[in-house]
């Protein structure tokens, strides 16, 4: 049950952090939703660093890993919001920003996970 509490607290913290980032960066209702993009790629970098440190040094406890990687990063990043925002871009006929946002999110997200892992080597 203690592990569930760590995930719960981390997820809540990550969700609140994402809320503030989205509130300030998604103030423009048209075009690329930069707040979600920033949260998703930053979360990718963080999880790469966290898991890289956990694998390299084995200094991160299981509870800390649950709080940071599963909880915080899981709450901070959001695929459902990403999918909805892409739906809105397609619905409005904004195919250019749809392509930039979708491809950019996947490419930058993957690169940032690898960068986070590389940083910890």
Tokens of 66: 């649950």
On the question of pLDDT at 29 being above 70, the answer is: no
Q: How many domains does the chain have?
A: 1
20-34, 50-64, 84-98 — most confident range = 84-98
Domain that holds residue 33: 2-119
pLDDT of 50 strictly over 90: yes
Query: Which has more pLDDT, 121 or 7?
Result: 7
Entry pTM? 0.84
Kindly report, residue by residue over 93-119, the tens digit of the pLDDT: 999 999 999 999 999 999 999 999 999
């Amino acid at each position: 049950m203690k592990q569930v509490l760590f995930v719960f607290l981390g997820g809540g913290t990550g969700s609140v952090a994402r809320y503030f980032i989205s509130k300030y960066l998604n103030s423009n209702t048209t075009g690329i939703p930069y707040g979600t993009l920033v949260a998703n790629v930053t979360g990718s970098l963080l999880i790469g660093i966290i898991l890289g440190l956990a694998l390299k040094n084995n200094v991160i406890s299981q509870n800390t890993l649950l709080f940071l990687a599963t909880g915080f990063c899981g709450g901070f990043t959001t695929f459902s919001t990403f999918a909805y925002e892409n739906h809105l871009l397609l619905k409005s006929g904004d195919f250019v920003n749809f392509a930039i946002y979708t491809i950019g999110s996947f490419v930058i997200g993957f690169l940032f996970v690898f960068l986070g892992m590389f940083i910890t080597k």
